[in-house]
Chains A and B, each alone.
Chain A
Amino acid sequence: MSKASCRVAWLLGATAAITLLLIGCAKGEETAPTAKVATSVATTAATRAPAGAPTSAATAGSAAPDITKVKWDSFPPVMQEMLKRNGTATFKRPDPYKPIYGGVLRRQTYATTGRGATLGANYIKVSNSGAWTMWGIISGNLVSPEFGWGADLSTGTGAPVPDLAESWTSSKDGTQWTFKLRDNVFWQDKAPVNGRKVTAADVKWFLDTVRTQGWLADDAKTVSSVEIPDERTVVINTSKPFPDLLDWLATPMMVMAPKECWDAGDKCITESPVGFGAYQLRELTLSRWALERNPKYHMKDRQGNQLPYMDGIEFIPVADPATRDANLRTGELDYETYRDQASWLNIKNSIPNLQLEFAGPAKTITLMGDWLAFNYKNAGPWQDKRVRQALSMAINRQRICDIAALGFCVVQSPINAERDLGRPFEFSIAEMSEVAPYYKYDPEQAKKLLADAGYPNGFSMEVITGTTAKGLGAVEQWLMVFDDWKKIGVNVNHKPDQNAATLLGGGGFSQAMGFGYNLSGSRMYQQAYSLLYSTGAANFIGLKDPTLDQMLDARVPMPTASKERQEQSRKIFDYINEQMYRPTLWVGMVWEATQPWVVNETCGSDSCANITMRTLNWTWLDPSAKGFPASRKFEPRSKP
């Protein structure tokens, strides 16, 4: 070997050695997140109000912190600004409230993607949110939820309000409910019902069908019979007190279809829906679902103005995001939702005149959360609550939220915040860390808990996650969780799986699963019951806790929104947060982008499909608004 070659070899070797040394040193450092918003994260973190010393709600002898008042200052500043502007309603009430009659709203909808000229599966037999989306606006329920936003509705307690039923009473023992139907409700003037009156027989048929053949049959077990003493009266008998009956009747899945449609075969329900709602189907084609105003709609707004205000709504499936944005820009579309913050930021910058708000009020936020499921049927470290507490405390939720969602997230409460805890909005991560100490980010405490549980060196665990989520809940976010766990010695064997939903439903995961979506969907009143009760309809994790069962059972007969129920709910809340059976991570905010000429529209999105788009009944278009396309101009018609 020549001298020159030796020198070159030596030089190369030295370079390689130095490089390896540098790599080895760099590995020990925490790598900074590579998100675009790294600088804004730093700014946000610096200005956020401190969480304060956590108090253990479960500590014997100490008063549980009051959670009925939301600590608005505990939210990240970006969220504070928006929340203070609109409160918990996403859009302020138009003032003056002067609806304009006429015009056709144009919306993109994910519900139609892949389905073509059909709503997909029969929504009574099979869960199908695309179908509820349409049926919810084409038909109605016996009672409807009070959405709590929109100009014409009041404070928004979520309590059911009259729809087909104009009034109701319940017996003293809570086992019999009598509903009086309105006299002026008609099916839409389309086959096969051809405009006939809606009667008690329709209600009885529908409820009996749901109870016996519907996918919601489980929920209806408490209903023992339905009687109809006359054509305007429906009596629902329950086997035990069922104060949540009204909530159950008000859920979007309980939107009514006529018997004739059922008898005509699935085609009627899936391709020719007909109901008694504000809008009726005009056309259902490959590229558009067009609805037109129902001239016989039975509802008026509080000023006595006939509803709905618009002449029609078009739902158009636009699959490509660039095309949707282009059509928003040109005014061909009136509405879009964004589930990831990057898209929202992009649209905010590129179409500045759009109205951008959180989708829906706080009540709908619980629909979209991410959480951990453990398989309690199998032995494993998670059977020890200290391990579950440790895993929760090891997760830096705020950091992940800041990176993935620009700080726009809340923590999903295991108990419905608004209905059962008496607070108007969900918890910020900081506030939840105060009221439920095991939500606090404290890796040192987490290590101690693991050591106490007999895992001083940590352990390994298999975790399955889905692969289709974007934004928060995406695989990348779960990887950050697993990184946090690594720091306390918990090593994850991660298995991304497209089949995650079916695996969870079938209990097909052996150890743990990271999952998005609130399983109870819109049955928020059943949230904890459905998910954690030993025989709960959505208890796929195999949990059996007699103490929790007793606490949930004790709550069932308590009147909705009563102080008694609130107190019991608080006990359940504290207990679940102590046990950490199902550690919840975060809920990302969904954004609505609406054109400036769309007035009083909110939560008419697919993200709120679980509570219908019936809010569009109170929406109107203002053709004089800036940017309204000339091709879509209309002459407002006079008030009916």
Chain B
Amino acid sequence: MTQYIIRRILLGLLVLWLVTLITFFTTRLLPGDVLDRLFQDALARQSTIETVRHELGLDRPMYTQYFVWMGAMFRGDFGNSIMSGRPVMTEIKERVPVTLELGMMALLIAIPMGVLIGLISAVRQRSLADYGGRAFAIVGLSFPDFFMGTVVVLYASKYLGYATPIHFKYIWDAPRENLEMVYIPALILGLRMSANSMRIMRSSMLEVLRQDYIRTAWAKGLREQWVIGRHAVKNALLPVVTVLGGQLGILLGGTVIMEMLFTLPGMGRLALDAVLYRDYPQIQAVVLIMASFIVFTNLAVDILYSYLDPRISYK
């Protein structure tokens, strides 16, 4: 197992290196650059633009810029945001808690809801509960996050006279205000994720319930709770864990939209602003961090997998 983990870590580092290469060069191939944004207010002379370009190191060959950036990164210096002038990591540190909170809350909603509804739906197959659960899943999967979010924002304001607060406060500063801002976007994200995991849970559970050992357990006269809870659920959870691990990447993408709609100053919004402004150091750092998160989360999911299913061992 240790060897497996080490191997995965090394592979993960290789993946991250490729990510830096792709991010670095593709962003510089985008039309327009950050100077276009910096100088959009009043057109500057070419000499001024070139001076600033030189100061930012943007006049050097791309490969030079890449190696300089990589070297600085290994020393812990991710550079300064071109738009704000502040260290990139400062910008990220301020925003990571927001996205983490949103993501965690979404997961806390998605996992129990998806597992529970899927479980009930499978156990009570072809009942009203099953049909209701499946309808929930279809609706949840059909409506994209941005649609749900926009509908909620517009209808709540129009018919309920309600809008989520627009001044963000961290949870440790003002928990009530923080939760009031975050719970709706977390709910929307969580519902969407739970729809997916519900379907996986249901089909997985149905398959497990048809297994011989479950039939044996019924035959032995065990109570339903014991059969489902002790014997079936754990095995049915394996695919759900896999799917949830994969959904973390989608979650990160979904937070961008929710952060925009609900005025949350998170990583997703930072990433979007950075791309819009061609803020190269910011883009690189944000993408690298998100990629690291996905790579190492997937590793954690795989390790969890082996815990859930003792038959699985990594050699």
Residues of A within 8 A of B (CB): 113-118, 120-121, 126-129, 215, 266, 270-271, 285-288, 314, 316-320, 322-323, 325-327, 329-330, 332-333, 350, 497-499, 501-502, 504-508, 519, 521, 537-538, 540
Interchain CB contact under 8 A, B168 and A287: yes
Residue of A nearest to B84 (CB): A118
Chain A residues with Cβ below 8 Å from B1 are: none
Tell me if B48 is interfacial: C-beta within 8 Å of chain A: yes
Chain A residues with Cβ below 8 Å from B44 are: 127, 215, 505
Bound Cα distance from A333 to B44, whole angstroms: 34
Stretch at the interface among B108-116, B156-164, B212-220, B292-300: B156-164
Bound Cα distance from A162 to B263, whole angstroms: 40
Chain B residues with Cβ below 8 Å from A326 are: 153-154, 156-158, 163
Contact with A501, one of B39, B158, B260, B274 (Cβ below 8 angstroms): B39
Interchain CB contact under 8 A, A506 and B31: no
- Write the nearest CB–CB distance from B20 to chain A, whole angstroms: 23
Tell me if B24 is interfacial: C-beta within 8 Å of chain A: no
| Ranked 4 nearest A-B pairs via Cβ | A326-B157, A286-B265, A505-B43, A498-B32
- Write the nearest CB–CB distance from A165 to chain B, whole angstroms: 25
Tell me if B21 is interfacial: C-beta within 8 Å of chain A: no
Bound Cα distance from A314 to B166, whole angstroms: 11
Can you pick out 16 interface pairs between chain A and chain B where the beta carbons lie within 8 Å of each other? A116-B81, A116-B84, A116-B91, A116-B94, A120-B83, A120-B85, A126-B39, A270-B85, A287-B167, A317-B263, A323-B163, A323-B260, A332-B166, A350-B158, A502-B35, A502-B36
Chain A residues with Cβ below 8 Å from B45 are: 505-506, 537
Chain B residues with Cβ below 8 Å from A506 are: 45-46, 49
Per-position 1/0 for B128-163, Cβ under 8 A of A: 000000000000000000000010011011100111
> A-B contact count, CB below 8 Å?
144
Interchain CB contact under 8 A, A330 and B263: no
Interchain CB contact under 8 A, B36 and A318: no
Interchain CB contact under 8 A, A116 and B46: no
Bound Cα distance from A499 to B168, whole angstroms: 34
Per-position 1/0 for B264-279, Cβ under 8 A of A: 0100011001101101
- List which B24-67 residues lie within 8 A (CB) of chain A: 31-33, 35-46, 48-49, 52
- Write the nearest CB–CB distance from A139 to chain B, whole angstroms: 18
Interchain CB contact under 8 A, A113 and B273: yes
Interface centre among B86, B95, B163 (most CB of A within 10 A): B163
Seed contacts A215-B44, A325-B154; 11 additional CB < 8 Å A-B pairs:
A114-B273, A114-B276, A117-B86, A120-B84, A316-B263, A323-B261, A326-B158, A499-B36, A501-B40, A502-B33, A504-B43
Tell me if B78 is interfacial: C-beta within 8 Å of chain A: no
Interchain CB contact under 8 A, A327 and B166: yes
Given A286-B94, A333-B166, A499-B33, residue A127 in contact with residue B85 (CB < 8 A): no
Residue of A nearest to B43 (CB): A505
Interchain CB contact under 8 A, A266 and B46: no
Residue of B nearest to A508 (CB): B46
Chain A residues with Cβ below 8 Å from B162 are: 330
Bound Cα distance from A330 to B155, whole angstroms: 11
Chain B residues with Cβ below 8 Å from A120 are: 83-85
Residue of A nearest to B95 (CB): A286
- List which B223-249 residues lie within 8 A (CB) of chain A: none
Interchain CB contact under 8 A, A499 and B269: no
Bound Cα distance from A502 to B39, whole angstroms: 7
Chain A residues with Cβ below 8 Å from B154 are: 322, 325-326
Residues of B within 8 A of A (CB): 31-33, 35-46, 48-49, 52, 81, 83-86, 91, 94-95, 150, 153-154, 156-158, 161-163, 165-168, 260-263, 265, 269-270, 273-274, 276-277, 279
- Write the nearest CB–CB distance from A494 to chain B, whole angstroms: 15
Interchain CB contact under 8 A, A127 and B41: yes
Would you call the interface of chain A mostly helix, strand, loop, or mixed? loop
Chain A residues with Cβ below 8 Å from B31 are: 497-499
Residue of B nearest to A319 (CB): B260
Interchain CB contact under 8 A, B166 and A323: yes
Given A215-B48, A319-B263, A320-B261, residue A330 in contact with residue B163 (CB < 8 A): yes
Given A120-B85, A502-B49, A505-B49, residue A320 in contact with residue B260 (CB < 8 A): yes
Interchain CB contact under 8 A, A266 and B94: no
Interface centre among B40, B91, B277 (most CB of A within 10 A): B40
Chain B residues with Cβ below 8 Å from A270 are: 84-85
Contact with A505, one of B39, B261, B269 (Cβ below 8 angstroms): B39
Bound Cα distance from A505 to B95, whole angstroms: 35
Interchain CB contact under 8 A, B153 and A322: yes
Residue of B nearest to A122 (CB): B85
Interchain CB contact under 8 A, B263 and A287: yes
Interchain CB contact under 8 A, B42 and A127: yes
Interchain CB contact under 8 A, A115 and B84: yes
Interchain CB contact under 8 A, A316 and B32: no
Given A121-B38, A288-B167, residue A330 in contact with residue B157 (CB < 8 A): yes
Bound Cα distance from A537 to B270, whole angstroms: 35
Bound Cα distance from A317 to B84, whole angstroms: 15
Bound Cα distance from A127 to B43, whole angstroms: 8
Chain B residues with Cβ below 8 Å from A286 are: 94-95, 168, 265
Contact with B85, one of A121, A316, A317, A519 (Cβ below 8 angstroms): A121
Interchain CB contact under 8 A, A498 and B260: no
Residue of A nearest to B31 (CB): A498
Interchain CB contact under 8 A, A314 and B43: no
Bound Cα distance from A408 to B192, whole angstroms: 43
Residue of A nearest to B274 (CB): A114
Residue of B nearest to A504 (CB): B43
Bound Cα distance from A114 to B265, whole angstroms: 10
Bound Cα distance from A350 to B231, whole angstroms: 56
- Write the nearest CB–CB distance from B87 to chain A, whole angstroms: 11
Chain A residues with Cβ below 8 Å from B165 are: 332
Interchain CB contact under 8 A, B167 and A327: no
Interchain CB contact under 8 A, A505 and B91: no
- Write the nearest CB–CB distance from A291 to chain B, whole angstroms: 14
- Write the nearest CB–CB distance from B48 to chain A, whole angstroms: 7
Residue of A nearest to B269 (CB): A319
Chain A residues with Cβ below 8 Å from B37 are: 114
Interchain CB contact under 8 A, A316 and B83: no
Chain B residues with Cβ below 8 Å from A504 are: 43
Contact with A521, one of B33, B41, B158, B276 (Cβ below 8 angstroms): B41
Chain B residues with Cβ below 8 Å from A288 are: 167-168
Interchain CB contact under 8 A, B42 and A314: no
Interchain CB contact under 8 A, B46 and A318: no
Chain B residues with Cβ below 8 Å from A505 are: 39, 43-46, 49
Bound Cα distance from A113 to B276, whole angstroms: 10
Residue of A nearest to B264 (CB): A287
- Write the nearest CB–CB distance from A284 to chain B, whole angstroms: 11
Chain B residues with Cβ below 8 Å from A317 are: 263
Contact with A126, one of B32, B52, B279 (Cβ below 8 angstroms): B52
